[in-house]
Amino acid sequence: MSKKNDTLEGFEDFAEALKEKNQKALSQNHEKFKTFELYSFLEEEMKRLKKMDSIIEETTYILKNFPHGDHIIQAQLNKTNEAKTKAVNELASKKAMFWKSINETFSDFFS
């Protein structure tokens, strides 16, 4: 029996040493992975920041050289209101193509 225990003790020592070696290798791999993960994150963050810098730079240039003040917005609103008024007036006249089409449709339908 004691001979069997001696054999197992040697095997247990070998298994323990192997386990420690594997843990050390896994720990090193994990550190490498964490380093790679950090590097990858930093690369992506750098790309994102460069894109944001480009957008801000372009926006600043546009706002500086082509101001979008209230007068431009008001002018556009006036043009829009004029176009709406013109469209409504044309549709309201009896000569409008809209009324001719409606008249033809209903006269054909009720005839």
Largest CA distance in the chain: 117
Which of 9-13, 23-27, 72-76, 105-109 has the largest mean confidence?
Answer: 72-76
User: Which pLDDT band holds residue 66 (cuts at 50, 70, 90)?
Assistant: confident
Joined tokens for residue 28: 């090193």
19, 13 Cβ separation under 8 angstroms: no
> Per-domain residue ranges for the chain?
1-67, 68-111
Joined tokens for residue 72: 């431009």
Residue 26 predicted with pLDDT over 60 = yes
68, 74 Cβ separation under 8 angstroms: no
Give the H/E segment covering residue 42: helix 2-65
Residue 107 predicted with pLDDT over 80 = yes
pTM of the model: 0.37
Joined tokens for residue 101: 């089409």
